[in-house]
A and B are shown apart, each in its own frame.
Chain A
């Protein structure tokens, strides 16, 4: 390096003069052909190979190559272009790796590319003039768009590859898999036995095992399509939606609570309607493109089924941050990663560091979602009449509502009395507006400043300004002077006093109430505060008079008192305005009651379901870039439109409202290269325990092209052919020979492909928490199949045996049990669950009453107790594992059961119960081959 610099010092001086001369020349006119040559041969290379280190962000060796001028200016080593002797240009030497400095550092350009550079230099480095000549970030996005596999259109199906083992494939996708296996010299695994297959189908699709009878029927079924029939059966089962719906709820970061809220109820009363929509969508096989549209923009669509509105829970069941910017961010993240595997949310504060996502695009989508809001009243999706238990619910609701009404009524009465009794204090403050210092000097005040209800002061001011007429016999004087500036007060007051002498005493409009006239003239005010004190004194006196025994007010008094007692008096507090007088302490008490109502609504069956929708705001939100994500630093305005990475220059701003439906259409469009691939990958992941693309929610630049891209694309095409039917895609996969392989280890194949990327076997999968729990309940005949409705606490309860998907999920305090079983954090979209093995999981199966209780009760069940002693082990094996025990297993059982007298006094489970319990703990129960 040093040597090199040395040798160039001389050259540096020389070239400086050269560049100088070049710079002074007139701009060269380049031909269209020359410019085209630059655009197609040079610019792409500059953008993809050079600009990162020699562009606007960094200038290694002080070299920038993003304009003709900067290239001619050269680097720290001097000029890099020799226009007179192109061949001697330093640039070309560096590119051809002829010498010490070799660029690009991670690999030489192709000979063709290097040759193009020579031609370009010979042409005097043609470069477009002005804006067209600039190299911007969009140039590199363009190269990513051109080059990254996931951004390329899904190609049409190509002819199937040649394979040797033609007997093996059952589906086109098998050809694609087999061709790669044969290339690697691995044969596929044998087909799994029928019991294994049907268990795989049931546990994978339904989350519970088949019964022994179902297994037997399949094992002995000689029909050619016996397997296909089972596939059809599981796909038609409503339990399928409960299993696969849960997969989607991971994507949708489903939770039953909004997160942290100190004062209000944390539960979403209607989150479950989204969960139930998702289950129904899978069961009814709602076309996936509709599934997308409905979840993003059901409110803007013509729906056949009103319940589909609940789909929009995707946008609304996220954590509520009480900050629209963060709520919107969560929505952008869930939608873009969830449907397209694009990490758009990374571009909130700056351009995406790795992906083709400029920060402008983030704000384009921000504009779309910020144009919508959650309405205060959510739409009901089922009538009260159709809702079972509605009447009971309504009765209970009325009782709590009454508590709030009672509280408000009580406080209203108390406030009314208080405000009348303390009218002096409030009036002085409302009209006199004394300063803090002044306040201290008024000895007649009795209410401490901290106890003042500000609402009452405002009410008085409002009353005097807006309700009381200017010629009111009592308040006319005050109205004439109350807003006078201090400097002008003496003059105005004198005028008013002069006029007062001419006004007739009396109680009609235009006259003056004798009591106030008297009080006024006794000591005319010198300030507005004085005036307030005079009035306050009269008001207080009149009010005091009403309290005397047998009090009879004079007409003049009565007129004044009316200002305190009329319906529109500021001191008259009713249910409709009591709210404005509550201070923080009252508010807390009342919030407690409101919370009780909200809790009731969220936990009581019979509350008619509502959809957690968003609706368009009256005017769409016009987004600007928030610089570094800070909404206080507003950058340039951007359009509401789709992503550059997917549409490039062709995109158009959204037209309808905020553009949510248009966005959904873009995502659900057959030409979107990501949406279908992302779905295929997710579905594949659940069937095979491993995804084709290892980052299911990030298909961006850093995601390598998967080995099985052709399989993915084949299934993506197949999805279109089947009108976006998810069930059809399942079927295609489930019928394949690839899926039907055994999971047994094969050391030779493993040596070649340890990751099983080539799919030489099926991966053995551990049951997820939900499937394990549901299966335990199911094999002990206790699973409660009721579908839908409010979520319930299932993690603590040992008596509620509903399916785990109906478990109440509190994102603010996720039950420990779910956490130790790898349940995903419901605060943001989850690409896939981690698989950890920790002792807390074992403790659950060993000790939890949820499991123990199943074993205990099953022994008491008729099914078990009517089975003869001798056949019980067989019975249990059939019940739990859908097969007969082997001799070896029988011996283990006999040995364990023989020691029944060892069951000690402090044991509350007999040996049979203990035996069932241990069978539930086995690997065979927990794993799917």
Chain B
């Protein structure tokens, strides 16, 4: 709140250099419906610094209706986690282990063989008694009654690139804005000192790189800011956040002199909102330096909290994600690692155990933490990959995998994502795959439906959140998408 002092709205009409009318016409009906005024709910005021400038493209905006979720943490198991080894228990599959499926194998990326029962044991958890594999025992023990397990997801093709784009941008091939960009465009963000949308991945990029968090035709400011979370360096988070030459107090003197010169320059030019905006922008940037730098510094976290998350890179990311959400960041995407770590064509037992092991405690701790801080109800957590994996074993392809016959191929026909917090009705499963876990059968949910529902939870009618570009209004879900009201509390 103290940082609010000294910020004045001299003229909220056109501080960005484009007029309000232009802005409205440029952004089509979407933004018009959102309302441009920087209206803020009181609770967000309490813990975030607010944009002085309500026309800033990132100023908080009202959605179409009161959304239950205000933040999103998307835990992305890139490569494709196996649903039949995690959240979609298939006793039939185990029974047929080593035997052919009673129906012919669906076409996936590579050749597949007989049934491959899960090497992991499942058991029911919580009041809801939902079956979860040992891989996520901690998460399930603590939170299954807050989770909605969607077991009937499906996508379009069994390849990483198009499926990553579909899951992230709602379109497999063409250049479209990512979910996080749409959400940042629609809602702005609560903390002007941090990016609205952050994509973290330790040690490099996932496949498809920055396209996964692209803003496409939305203004560049809505693009996800990528952080190599291995570094934990605020400079990787916000470029040029630190001045390596001039200490802060000297920079303050610089900015004071600058302000005087800018005032002199302004005198005699009459009303000039574009000049005001840039003057104010320096103050904003100055404060950003002070406040952004502690995000990654987890030294002030109690030891038991740090410990509860665990030591892996993905785990540390989750702790940082909590700190980001706490500070008002709108959308955080957590990639498990560079490349496609979950793509276990071989040795799925060993690898899935390791990968889930890097996550399980951390997810449990993250949800605990969010609950403790009162943020769980307004933070939507989404867990999943770009697709799932086949219930049948993958057959070896020379030079392509290790030829061990103990892994699973890509499966877009049916897979699992789960959601929690942010208005989700927990303790339920939604939809099913066939008895072997190959294909979504009951209540199939397409990726577009997932997107429509996520936007709904954030307060948007996915058909109305649009952006006028190249002669037409675009939306995240194109001409598809159905809100799944059953998931919502």
Contact = CB atoms under 8 A, between A and B. Distances in A.
Interface string A895-929: 11001001110111100001101110111101101
Interface stretch (B17-25, B126-134, B146-154, B421-429): B17-25
Interface in B275-296: 275, 277-279, 281-282, 284-286, 288-289
Nearest to A908: B245
Contacts of B260: 892
Contact of B399 (A584, A743, A813, A847): A584
A326 B174 contact: yes
B221 A694 contact: no
Contacts of B403: 448, 450
20 contacts: A343-B471, A450-B398, A453-B398, A584-B398, A585-B400, A743-B269, A747-B270, A819-B215, A834-B26, A835-B16, A839-B288, A843-B238, A843-B288, A847-B242, A904-B249, A904-B250, A922-B258, A922-B262, A923-B278, A929-B269
The 8 closest A-B pairs by CB, nearest first: A745-B270, A343-B471, A819-B220, A585-B399, A583-B399, A842-B285, A584-B399, A839-B285
Q: Which of A354, A448, A914, A926 has the most CB of B within 10 A?
A: A914
A837 B173 contact: no
B377 interface: no
Contact of B254 (A764, A838, A914): A914
B279 to A, nearest CB: 7
A450 B53 CA distance: 63
A837 B216 contact: no
Interface stretch (A44-52, A83-91, A823-831): A823-831
A346 interface: yes
B319 to A, nearest CB: 24
A816 B18 CA distance: 22
B40 to A, nearest CB: 18
B242 to A, nearest CB: 6
A844 B239 contact: yes
Interface stretch (B90-98, B204-212, B351-359, B447-455): B204-212
Given A825-B215, A836-B221, A923 B399 contact: no
Nearest to B279: A923
Given A822-B220, A903-B250, A926 B289 contact: no
B270 A896 contact: no
A920 B264 CA distance: 15
Contacts of A893: 257
Contacts of A697: 470
A766 interface: yes
B305 interface: no
B398 A820 contact: no
A364 to B, nearest CB: 18
Q: Which of A321, A346, A813, A922 has the most CB of B within 10 A?
A: A922
Contacts of A918: 254-255, 257-258, 261
B36 to A, nearest CB: 14
Interface in A94-149: none
A587 interface: yes
Contacts of B208: 260
A744 B470 contact: no
Contact of B257 (A353, A840, A895): A895
Interface string B244-277: 1111011101110110111011101111101101
A355 B282 CA distance: 44
A450 B396 contact: yes
Interface of B: 15-19, 21-22, 25-26, 53, 56-58, 161, 173-175, 192-193, 207-211, 215-217, 219-221, 223, 225, 238-247, 249-251, 253-255, 257-258, 260-262, 264-266, 268-272, 274-275, 277-279, 281-282, 284-286, 288-289, 396-400, 403, 470-472
A348 to B, nearest CB: 10
Interface in A796-835: 812-814, 816-820, 822-823, 825, 827-829, 831, 834-835
A262 interface: yes
Contacts of A333: 470
Contacts of A902: 250, 253
B398 A343 contact: no
Q: Which of B249, B258, B403 has the most CB of A within 10 A?
A: B258
B274 A927 contact: yes
A829 B470 contact: yes
Contacts of B264: 886, 888-889, 892
Q: Which of A343, A585, A847, A923 has the most CB of B within 10 A?
A: A923
Contact of B244 (A587, A700, A842, A849): A849
Given A813-B209, A852-B245, A835 B262 contact: no
Contacts of B173: 321, 323, 326
Interface in A500-550: none
Q: Which of B239, B241, B244 has the most CB of A within 10 A?
A: B239
B471 A755 contact: no
A836 B239 contact: no
Contact of B241 (A326, A823, A847, A903): A847
Contacts of B217: 825, 828
A825 B220 contact: yes
A585 B221 CA distance: 40
A487 to B, nearest CB: 29
Contacts of B278: 766, 837, 842, 923, 926
A655 B474 CA distance: 37
Contact of A814 (B161, B210, B253): B210
A347 B223 CA distance: 28
A354 B470 CA distance: 12
B398 to A, nearest CB: 4
Given A835-B17, A840-B285, 4 more contacts: A453-B398, A588-B399, A814-B210, A837-B17
Contacts of A586: 399
A451 interface: yes
B221 A819 contact: yes
A846 B266 CA distance: 20
A836 B16 contact: yes
B109 to A, nearest CB: 12
A260 B209 contact: yes
Contacts of B220: 814, 818-820, 822-823, 825
A694 B472 contact: no
B16 A764 contact: no
B14 to A, nearest CB: 9
Contact of B161 (A260, A451, A755): A260
A825 B471 contact: no
A848 interface: yes
B175 A914 contact: no
Nearest to A895: B257
A907 B247 contact: yes
A452 interface: yes
A841 interface: yes
Nearest to B21: A755
A766 B221 contact: no
A831 to B, nearest CB: 8
A79 B349 CA distance: 75
A262 B26 CA distance: 35
Contact of A694 (B22, B57, B219): B22
Given A889-B264, A922-B265, A834 B219 contact: yes
A583 B210 contact: no
A851 B284 CA distance: 19
A837 B281 contact: yes
A899 B269 CA distance: 31
B209 A319 contact: no
A839 B399 contact: no
A750 B266 contact: no
B219 A353 contact: no
Contacts of A750: 271
A632 to B, nearest CB: 14
A450 B272 contact: no
A856 B271 CA distance: 35
Given A764-B274, A828-B175, A927-B275, A583 B398 contact: yes
A839 B268 CA distance: 26
A842 B472 contact: no
